[in-house]
Amino acid sequence: MEADTDILIVGGGMVGTPLALLLAQQGWKVTLLDAVTDADTGNSAAQTHPLEQRCTAISAGSVGLLDSVGLWDAVKADACPMTKVHVSQQGFFGTVRMQASDHNLDALGYVVNNNHYLTALRSRLSDSDVQHIIGARAVSYRADATSAAVAYKIDLDEGSDEKTISAQLVIAVDGIASTMRDAVGIGIRHHNYEQCAVLGCVELDQPHDNVAYERFAAGGPLAMLPRTGNIASFVYCIDAKDQNRVAVMEADEFLAMIQLEFGHRLGVFKQVGKRTIFPLTRIEAQVQQRDRLLLLGNAMRLLHPVAGQGYNLAIRDVAGLLSTLGLTPDVDPGDASVLASFVSLRESDQNRIVKLTDALARGFRGYSKLPGHIRGAGLLTMAAVPQLSQLITKQGLGYVKSAPAVR
């Protein structure tokens, strides 16, 4: 029986939405099941205060992919460039500085407001060939030799009956608690870092000059990323035992604490917005594909936020899938051999990033002096050896091969 669509994407977030647009550009018939409504996204974007935005750092490589297919124009107006990166360790010598001009780039990456970014991309869906089904919650999955079927409900309609849509390939980007992953029995590997991340934004008393900072403190890394205006978005990693204490801090007390941890390279922190705290774990699916289902984004893996690699790795996976499908025209996109080719293509990069973020999360943490001096020596070595610093910078830039524009 002929499938209703070539490719069905379950999850319309920051990975699923550009993925749907890019696959449609290649000529695939694409359907996007999106749990979020247009009203939800539009309202949240319009009402986001500068100090209450959630942000993501997008590497130069990811920007290159989006730009090559015309999607970066939709989001660049709100994006804040990172022209320099400054890496240091609290209480020890050793600093690494990277700048875009050393790589003939305008920026090493950009920091975007998640709501604005997603709203801008979603605005392109109405002008594309993507069938966009909003307010849709996937509830079950089944597959046979030629197609897969996903049952879903429209949560906007009270008492609505289940509907079913079939596809040659189903791509799950439905988050860390993926319904699709569970439906085919793919297990996960889980590591608890015994840390929590505090996310938020602070107002600065001076310009940030488009510098991004990664500060390794005793409790874990503290990133300060530039946003439009005198605003910095922060990711502050703390010991899990301190979660409750930090959660109930008044704004002034929290500002004093984070100022002490970070120092005064950005001047004085004047105000802090709403803070979000969540535990830090690494979650990885045991396999990436099974029974015409492919996992991407957080449905496949959730990484520690150090060095901001998670989203950019997912975008490189998107580019790899586009290249794989573009190189195999007029074939079944859900065929096991096609998906195995994609998995093989991406395996090395995925493993490298998992090991890198895990090593940084574990290694740059703790109060002992000797390990601190060893880490400081490592930073000094990076600063003194340009080739090593360039290698690390190249990894952070996250370049991807351009995917075919059409099938």
Q: pLDDT tens for residues 385-407?
A: 344 344 444 554 555 444 444 34
Mean of the per-residue pLDDT values for the chain?
A: 86
* Residue 139 banded pLDDT, cuts 50, 70, 90: very high
Percent of all residues in the chain with a pLDDT value above 70, rounded to a whole number = 83
* Residue 209 banded pLDDT, cuts 50, 70, 90: very high
In degrees, rounded to 5, the angle at the alpha carbon of residue 321 between the alpha carbons of residues 319 and 324 is 110
State which of 58-62, 265-269, 384-388 shows the largest mean pLDDT: 265-269
Show the tokens assigned to 159. 């008492």
Q: What DSSP letter does each residue of 65-108 carry, written as one string? A: HHHHTT-HHHHGGG-EEE-EEEEEETTS--EEEEEGGGGT-S-S
In 1-67 the beta strands, taken as DSSP E runs, fall at 5-10, 30-34, 55-59
Q: Of the given ranges (59-63, 89-93, 95-99, 239-243), which has the lowest mean pLDDT?
A: 89-93
Q: Cα(305)–Cα(293) distance, rounded to whole angstroms?
A: 27
Q: Cα(94)–Cα(90) distance, rounded to whole angstroms?
A: 10
What is residue 217's predicted lDDT score, i.e. its pLDDT?
77
Q: What are the angstrom distances between the C-alpha of 120 and each of 13, 114, 134?
A: 12, 10, 16
**Looking at per-residue confidence, does 400 or 3 come out higher?**
3
Q: Of the given ranges (126-135, 296-305, 317-326, 394-403), which has the lowest mean pLDDT?
A: 394-403
What is residue 22's predicted lDDT score, i.e. its pLDDT?
95
What is residue 330's predicted lDDT score, i.e. its pLDDT?
78
Q: Cα(232)–Cα(224) distance, rounded to whole angstroms?
A: 6
Mean pLDDT of 31-50: 73
Mean pLDDT of 130-156: 93
Looking at this protein, which amino acid is placed at residue 89?
Answer: Q
Q: Cα(58)–Cα(312) distance, rounded to whole angstroms?
A: 6
Q: Of the given ranges (8-17, 45-54, 285-294), which has the lowest mean pLDDT?
A: 45-54
Q: Cα(261)–Cα(281) distance, rounded to whole angstroms?
A: 23
Q: Would the pLDDT of 365 be above 80?
A: no
Q: Cα(240)–Cα(248) distance, rounded to whole angstroms?
A: 14
Contact 60, 108 (CB under 8 A): yes
Contact 314, 203 (CB under 8 A): no
Contact 194, 200 (CB under 8 A): no
**Looking at per-residue confidence, does 229 or 376 come out higher?**
229
Q: Would the pLDDT of 381 be above 60?
A: no
**What structural domains does the chain harbor?**
5-48+115-189+282-361 (3.50.50.60)
pTM comes to 0.89
In 273-341 the beta strands, taken as DSSP E runs, fall at 276-285, 289-290, 293-295, 301-302
**Looking at per-residue confidence, does 371 or 273 come out higher?**
273
Show the tokens assigned to 358. 């895990």
What is residue 241's predicted lDDT score, i.e. its pLDDT?
94
Contact 121, 74 (CB under 8 A): yes
* Residue 167 banded pLDDT, cuts 50, 70, 90: very high
* Residue 326 banded pLDDT, cuts 50, 70, 90: confident
What is residue 40's predicted lDDT score, i.e. its pLDDT?
64
